[in-house]
Amino acid sequence: MGLLLKSVVPWGRNIEEYRKLFLLSYSDMRKKIAGFGDGPASFNVQASERNADVTSFDPIYCFSKEQLRERINEVRDTIISQMEENAGNYVWCRINSIQELEYIRMSAMDMFLEDYEKGKEEGRYICHSLPDRLPCDDGAFDIGLSSHFLLMYTSLGLDFHIAAISEMLRACKEIRIFPLCDLDSNSSELTEEVIKYFSADYKTEILKTDYEFQRGADKMLRIRKKMKCSSLEEVRENIDRIDDSIIRLIAERTEFVKQAASFKRDTASVKDSYRVEAVIKKVREKAEQYGVSPDITETVYRNMISGLIELEMKEFNSSK
Ligand SMILES: C[S@@+](CC[C@H](N)C(=O)[O-])C[C@H]1O[C@@H](n2cnc3c(N)ncnc32)[C@H](O)[C@@H]1O
């Protein structure tokens, strides 16, 4: 039996929200992206306007623009009054009020509806239900996204989630899922099971994002294929490639450190041991998050920071 319109509760986010909740960088936005369960979000239309390559998959794309508009208007007041009742479950910081929320969501869905027919013709909105096989080759997409769908609808069960994520991983080189909590804002009971299932063949990471609206919903799960090299040469090629990126980033960091000298009043503020310890604490936490040794990370950072403080001191003295 096909999907019934009255079972659909359309609600969509915009590109600013997607970029924050998935930590999508400018270089990510140049990649080929698939959105699963994008529904009436305006991510696709806004990204396409910026020349990004985004394809959205959702079973609601079997309906017409008029049917979706009608359904959005039908459910809008109920969703808003439910959110009003549960206002304490949300962080009213970036979005200040229920009125602002309604405005943001309705604007996103209006943008989606205006683009929907054109996007369908261009193949950007594809009617598809996970875990069915997607109409694309293996690895066709660089990044696959699931916002407020997988891991959140826990009633769909672990088998559904494993099958859906397996199909996403067939089609995408990496996937990102946000948030890691269920509809009641509790930690999703599925996250640990999903990580356990995929971690033999895939690198799984939980990353803190720049987004928290539903209280406690501020993390995403990233799953990528583990890179397996077939020779020592290939391993070294990869290490050389990574060293090149690290050195470029150290050069960029150095430029900012030099600029910092012009804002300091005395040599104590150049050394700023309080700031040094805060940076060390932060990078140790990041190391834990990315699954590398906090001790190795601290040693590397302490050496780099002490060299850069010397440089900043020279910059400071020459400017006096
Ligand atoms: C809460 S909405 C999230 C919409 C959008 N991702 C956002 O964050 O604004 C969940 C979406 O998942 C879609 N969905 C439900 N079952 C699905 C399935 N089996 N495969 C793909 N999408 C599905 C729904 O149609 C709906 O649009």
Q: Walk me through the domains of the chain, giving residue ranges and CATH numbers.
A: 5-225 (3.40.50.150), 232-319 (1.20.59.10)
Q: What is the pLDDT of residues 99-129, one digit of tens each?
A: 999 999 999 999 999 999 999 999 999 999 9
Dmax over CA atoms of the chain, in Å, equals 78
Q: Is residue 2 very low, low, confident or very high in pLDDT (cuts 50, 70, 90)?
A: low
Neighbours of 43 (CB within 10 A): 28
- Judge contact between 60 and 40, C-beta under 8 A: yes
* Mean pLDDT of the 173-190 span: 93
Please state the atom number of ligand 1 nearest to the C-alpha of residue 160: 19
Of 18-27, 175-184, 259-268, 274-283, least confident by mean pLDDT is 259-268
Shortest-distance Cα residue to atom 8 of ligand 1: 147
Q: How many CB atoms are located within 10 Å of the residue 123 CB?
A: 9
**pLDDT computed for residue 292 by the predictor:** 86
Highest mean pLDDT: which range of 43-52, 238-247, 267-276, 288-297: 43-52
Number of the ligand 1 atom closest to the C-alpha atom of 129: 20
- The atom number, within ligand 1, closest to the CA of 131 reads 19
CA 210 to chain centre: 9
Q: Is the CB of 17 under 6 A from ligand 1?
A: no
Closest CA to 183 of 83, 104, 277, 250: 83
> What is the structure's pLDDT at 8?
81
Q: Find the helix or strand (DSSP H, E) in which 267 lies.
A: helix 267-271
213 pLDDT exceeds 60?
Answer: yes
Instruction: Give the pLDDT band of residue 3 (cuts 50, 70, 90).
Output: confident
CA 247 to ligand 1 center in whole angstroms: 41
- Residue 222 is classified by DSSP as E
Residue to probe by mutation, ligand 1, list 46, 58, 60, 176, most atoms within 8 Å of CB: 58
Q: Are strands 53-57 and 125-126 parallel, antiparallel or unpaired?
A: parallel
Q: What residues does 54 pair with on adjacent strands?
A: 33
Cβ atoms < 10 Å from Cβ of 130: 23
Alpha carbon of 292 to ligand 1 centroid (Å): 34
Give the HSE-up count for residue 262: Cα atoms under 13 Å, Cβ half-sphere.
4
pTM exceeding 0.75: yes
Residue nearest atom 17 of ligand 1, based on CA coordinates: 129
pLDDT digits (tens, 9 = 90+) for 158-169: 999 999 999 999
48 Cα to the center of ligand 1, angstroms: 20
